[in-house]
Amino acid sequence: MSRQTFLEPFNAKAMSYAEVARTFVPSTKFILLAGAWHSVLVGPRGGGKTTLFKMLSAEGQEAWTKPASEPYKKTMAYTGIYVPSDIAWGTMLESLMEAGQDENVGILFSEAAFVTHVLLGVAAGIDRHVTLNPVQRAEAATEAATGAPTQADLERVIATIATLWKVHPVSLSPASLVDALRERLLEIKRDARLRAKLKEGGMPTEKYLGMDMLESASQALQAFDAAYRRPDHRWCLLLDEFEVAPMHLQKTVLAAMRASGAQKLLLKVALAPCGPDLLYEQLSSAPPSQINDVQQVELWYADKAEAIEFCQQVFLSRANSYPALAGKTPSEVFGTSAYAVVDDSDEAEQIGLFTQAGRNKKHVKEQFQSLAEKDPTFLEFLRRKQIDLSQELGMQPSDTHGNTLRKIAPLVAFRNAYKGKGVGRKRGVKPFNTAYSGWESIAAISEGNPRWLIGLITRIMSNSDQVQFPVPTPQQTAAVQWNCQRYAEMLQSVANEQFGSIKTSTPIYDVLSKIGTYFHNRLVTTTFVEDPPMSFIVDERVSDDVEHALRIAVNHGAIVCFEAAADVGGFRTLRGRRFRLTYLLAPVFKLPMRKSKSVSLSAILEPKPEAAASQEEPPTNPAGEWTQGGLWAN
C-alpha cells in the first residue's frame, strides 16, 4: 500500500482547501467551534487546529461538497476568513528592541504588520465574494434586481475602504486593494528593518501605524455588506497558531472577545495549551470568560468512546480509497485488543474485548500462574483476595472475583512479561508487544490526534502487498514501536524555550523519562497492587523550572491533562492538576494504557532512598474520578 494513501498529505498547513475537505471528518469539536460566537481552540501540535480553521473558512466550505456537510454548513451564519500566523509579528518587535528602539516603537510596527495581515485576509474575502457575486450592469439596476451593487457602487465602497485603511490601490477594485495591502506589508517590514539598522530615534509617523484591527476590519465590512444590501451579515476572523504572536497582540485580541452585543466580526483563535498569553499578569482589564464571552474548545477527549468513534471515521475517510480496505471496519483490519484502556465504566466493552481478542480462560490462567510462581507479592495478593488458581477464572461480572480478575488481567500480563525471579528484579527488556496491537490500542495510542493516527496506520499498512486481515500482530507492533520511538526522539530534541516566555534549564525528555521509568518500576518491581499509580499531580514542591518543562511537554501532546482548562486559552498553571503520559509513549516506557490513581510529581522526581524498592503505596490521590482530557491534538 502506498504511504500516500494515508499519510500524504497530512499537514493541513501545506494542503489546499480542496485537499483538506476531501478527507475531512467533522467531530463534536467542530460542532462546538463552528457556531456564530467567539471561540478559542486549544490543542497541541498535530491536533487538527489548522484543519478545523481551514474548514470554517469560506474557501473550505466551498470545497466541502459532500452531502453530509449540509447540516454543518447551516450552523455557520458567517463568512470565515482564514488568517495564518506570521513569525514576523514577533521577530519585528525583537529586532527593534535589540537595536535599542523604544519598546512602544516595536509594538507599533508589530501591530501594523498583524493588522495588515488581517486586512489582507478581509480584502481577499471581499474579492472572492465579488468574483462569485458579480456586480450588475448599470442599466439592470432596478428594484427587481438581485441586490448586487453596480460597478459604480462597488468602486465607491473600495474607495471608502482604501481611505479607512490608508492605502492607494491603482484601481478601485477588490483585487487592486489586495495588491495594495501586499505592498503595505513589504513597506512595514522594510521600514522596521531600516529603523533597526540605522538606529533612528524618536517616534515614527507612518500613517499605517496605530490602526485598530477590529475597527478597521468591521467598518470596511459594514460598508461592503451595505452595498450588497445585507447589513446583518457576519464575518469571522480565524486566527491560526496565534501563540506565536507577541503577547501584546494576544492580549488585544482576547480582550476584544469581551465585547457584548451583536457584532459584525466574530473572532476564533487557535492557541497551544500553554502559550505566552497565559504567563503574563492581567493588568486592569479582566480576561474573557468561558461562561459569558467565548466558547472554548479543547482538542482532547474526556470520553474515550467519543475519541475512538472519531478515529474510526478518520480511518474510513481514507481507507475507502484503497481497494483492499474498502468496506472493512478498523476492527476487521487490525483485530481487537484486550489490553486497551481499562475503563470500569465500560465494563461490557472490556468483557467483549477479552472475548473477541481470543484472550481465552486458559491463556489468562497461564499468565496468572506464571506470575504467581516468581512473584511472592502477587501470590500473597491472591491469598488475600481468596483467588484460587486451581479453579476456573471467569471474567464475567457474575463470576466469583470476575470484576477483580478482569481489572488486573492486563497488569498481570505486563508484570509477568517484565518480572524477573526475585524481589525487585526485572527480566530482559524485550517489549510486551501484544498490548500495542489491535484497533482499540491503536486508537488509544493516537489520542484522537488525526496526525498521529494517520502516521500509525500508514506505517502499519506500508506493505503494498498486504492482503492478510487482521494485519499480523508483529507487523502492527513493529510499526507502532517505530512511530513511538520517532516521537520520543523528537521530544529529546525539543528546545527548552518556547514563544520567548516559557524557558527551562531542564531537558523536557529527562522529566518524561523519570516519570515513565517510575511508573514502569511501580508496575513491575514493587509489591503487586490492584491499582498502581499511572498518573501524577503537579504539586507545590515541583520547581518552576520543571513546571515550565512540562508546559512545553503539554504543547507537544506528551502529557495529557485529566481536566478541562479553567482559563481561556489553556492552562495558566499546571499546579494542582492531574496528568498522565501520552499513550504514544506507552510502548517506549513499557506501560499499559489504563486509568489509575495518581502520585505527586515531587514523589517521582525526588523519591526517598529508603522507600525506593519496597514502597507499596507512595503518596497518592485516591479521589479521583477519571475525567481524562485525551489530547493533543495541528
Q: Are residues 508 and 554 in contact, defined by beta-carbon separation less than 8 angstroms?
A: no
Which of 106, 107, 224 shows the shortest CA–CA distance to 165?
Answer: 224
Kindly state the helix (H) or strand (E) to which residue 503 belongs, with its residue range.
strand 502-503
Task: Give the Cα separation of 231 and 234 in Å (integer).
Answer: 9
- Joined together, the cell numbers standing for residue 538 give 503537579
Task: Give the Cα separation of 243 and 499 in Å (integer).
Answer: 7
Identify the DSSP state of 272. -
Confidence (pLDDT) at 82: 96
Rg (CA), the chain: 28
Helices (H), 402-507: 402-418, 439-446, 450-460, 473-492
- CA torsion sign for 538, 544, 545, 547 is positive
User: Cell match 484502556: residue?
Assistant: 341
Residue 268: Cβ within 10 Å count? 30
Task: Show the beta-strand stretches assigned E in 165-245.
Answer: 235-239
User: Cell match 502487498: residue?
Assistant: 465
Q: What are phi and psi of 80, to 5 degrees?
A: -85, 135
Task: Give the Cα separation of 19 and 84 in Å (integer).
Answer: 17
Residue 136 to residues 139, 148, 220, 230: CA-CA distances in angstroms?
8, 6, 21, 16
Confidence (pLDDT) at 302: 61
**HSE (side-chain half, CA atoms, 13 Å) at 266:** 28
Task: Spell out a b/e string for 514-524, using b for 16 or more CB atoms within 10 Å of the CB, else e.
Answer: bbbebbbbbbb
Which of 570, 573, 503, 512 shows the shortest CA–CA distance to 538?
Answer: 573
Confidence (pLDDT) at 289: 74
Task: Give the Cα separation of 234 and 267 in Å (integer).
Answer: 11
Task: Give the Cα separation of 232 and 222 in Å (integer).
Answer: 9
Residues 6+ apart with CB under 8 A from 275: 242, 243, 250, 499, 555, 569, 570
- CA torsion sign for 462, 465, 469, 474 is negative
Task: Give the Cα separation of 497 and 551 in Å (integer).
Answer: 10
Q: What are phi and psi of 271, to 5 degrees?
A: -135, 155
Q: Judging by beta carbons within 10 Å of its beta carbon (0-12, 13-18, 19+), is residue 542 exposed, middle or buried? A: buried
- Joined together, the cell numbers standing for residue 440 give 482499540
User: Cell match 523536557: residue?
Assistant: 508
What is residue 211's three-state secondary structure? coil
Task: Give the Cα separation of 73 and 64 in Å (integer).
Answer: 9
Task: Give the Cα separation of 455 and 473 in Å (integer).
Answer: 17
- Joined together, the cell numbers standing for residue 560 give 495529557
- CA torsion sign for 11, 272, 79, 450 is positive
**Averaged pLDDT in 10-residue chunks for the chain of 634 residues:** 41 87 89 92 90 96 90 88 88 81 88 94 96 78 64 96 97 97 94 86 86 93 95 95 85 78 84 75 59 85 76 87 83 83 49 48 81 93 93 79 84 87 60 83 90 89 74 92 94 91 94 97 92 95 96 94 84 92 94 89 82 43 36 29
Task: Show the beta-strand stretches assigned E in 202-262.
Answer: 235-239
Question: What phi-psi label fits residue 35: left (phi over 0), alpha (psi between -120 and 50 degrees) or beta?
Answer: beta
Q: What are phi and psi of 527, to 5 degrees?
A: -55, 135
Task: Give the Cα separation of 214 and 220 in Å (integer).
Answer: 10
Residue 434 to residues 336, 437, 484, 501, 592: CA-CA distances in angstroms?
11, 6, 15, 42, 11
What is residue 627's three-state secondary structure? coil
Q: What are phi and psi of 448, to 5 degrees?
A: 75, 10
pTM here?
0.86
Task: Give the Cα separation of 429 and 414 in Å (integer).
Answer: 12
Q: Are residues 504 and 525 in contact, defined by beta-carbon separation less than 8 angstroms?
A: no
Query: What's the farthest any 2 CA atoms get from each other in the chain?
Result: 96
